Structure 1
Amino acid sequence: MAARDYGQYGGVSSALELVGERWALLIIRDLLVGPRRYGELAGGLARIPSNILAARLKELQAGGVIRRVPHSRVIVYELTPYGRELEPVILALGAWGFKAMGEPREAQIITPDSMTMDLRTAFQPLVAASLPPTAYAARLGTVELFIRVEGSDLDVVRGGGPADLAFAAGADIRRLISGELTPDRAITTGVVQVLGGRNELLDRFATTFHLAA
């Protein structure tokens, strides 16, 4: 039974009955990055009450969106094929929401999964296909991500690695991705700090990851 019944027969109302409850889409967003244990989901969504997380997971399982599976002697949650069909919806919603982000509010943080999905949202595969393969080591607030772009393929994982460009930034990385700041200006104003590699590779990053605000 749906957690919420809108009393309407239609595709949008049916979808909202499945994933429209608070926190549901953020759980799905994080599971698009990869399977997660209950504790990992709770850690990535620090403000979610434990009873709400448990309820959302139960509802999403009942709707066939996620499933519990054994993995290395523990139970993890992962998206079903039906749930993975939500990926373009989540990416489109992220691009739409990017226009309204503004400055971060107090206590808002960047998480590895949220930043991974933001990068996937901003990724321009047609542009990247014409550029040389490039690896980036990004420190974004407290989050460290290793970003590999090869043709139209993007891979983002936690941690570091041998990179063509290593850089650090905070939430203001949004200003580079939106085109509000040029790469040169982002460096001179301190929005982006180049830690290794050539400064001009930040131009390639800004071309590869772009969303108009």
Structure 2
Amino acid sequence: MAAREYGQYCGVTRALELVGERWALLIVRDLLVGPRRYGELAEGLPRIPSNILAARLKDLQAAGILRRAPRSRVVVYELTPYGRELEPVVLALGAWGFKAMGDPREGQVITSDSMTMALRTAFRPHVAADLPPTSYLAHLGPAELLVRVDGSRLAVSSGDAPADLTFAAGPGIRRLISGELSAGRAIETGEVEVLHGHRDLLARFASTFHLAA
């Protein structure tokens, strides 16, 4: 199946042969959020050429990582149980890559799926377990996410709904999650704008979602 073979008998080598091609893990990342139609995958990866997307989907399906599934009158792509085993790998890569992100470069975009996985990466269930259930409506660039935290359980979905705290932020949300900015300072500098709810809840958000930079 792999377009590239490394000639080594090794688990890491085999993993790279299966998901190491460009765009492959980003397709997996988005499918970890949920099943997607072909057009939804293309929309979430705006720079991927259509022929490459089709080829990666074909390769990942041949490897048993994803499958095509009929849903009503459409076909969606979804991860198989084998494919879902990649979740801790993707989350660990996200945490590792967070340390080197820096400020966004020109042309870089934020998507709902990428931000959903970023929040899942930063979530600290051991901290959240000691906090009251809280819901957040986060406007993160073009992404609008409803974030529900109940004990050690996290649910993130797209869309608008009532929440305990509604806030808007751009790429500067990274500085809050990294601890570079306190919640109060993030509000003062305009990196985060509280739209509804008590501003003190932003500190709860910052303690619940944290990644060391």
Q: Give the residue type in structure 1 aligned to 2:115.
A: M
Distance 2:84 2:145 in 1: 23
CA RMSD in angstroms comes to 0.5
Aligned to 1:142: 142
Distance 1:141 1:45 in 2: 16
Distance 1:53 1:122 in 2: 28
Aligned to 1:102: 102
Q: Give the residue type in structure 2 aligned to 1:188.
A: E
Aligned to 2:25: 25
Distance 2:86 2:46 in 1: 23
Distance 2:4 2:125 in 1: 37
Distance 1:56 1:63 in 2: 10
Q: Give the secondary structure class of the aligned counterpart of 1:78.
A: strand
Q: Give the secondary structure class of the aligned counterpart of 2:7.
A: coil
TM, length-normalised to structure 1:
0.99
Aligned to 2:174: 174
CA drift of 1:73 comes to: 1.1
Q: When the two structures are aligned, how many residues end up with a matched partner?
A: 213
TM, length-normalised to structure 2:
0.99
Distance 2:38 2:91 in 1: 23
2:198 is the alignment partner of 1:198: yes
Q: Give the secondary structure class of the aligned counterpart of 1:107.
A: coil
Structure 1 residues 109-124: aligned runs within 5 Å: 109-124=109-124
Aligned-residue identity in percent: 76
Q: Give the secondary structure class of the aligned counterpart of 1:137.
A: strand
Distance 2:26 2:10 in 1: 23
Distance 2:56 2:7 in 1: 21
Aligned to 2:3: 3
Aligned to 1:70: 70
Deviations 1:53-98 (A, max 9, x none): 0000000001000000001210000000000000000000000000
Aligned to 2:92: 92
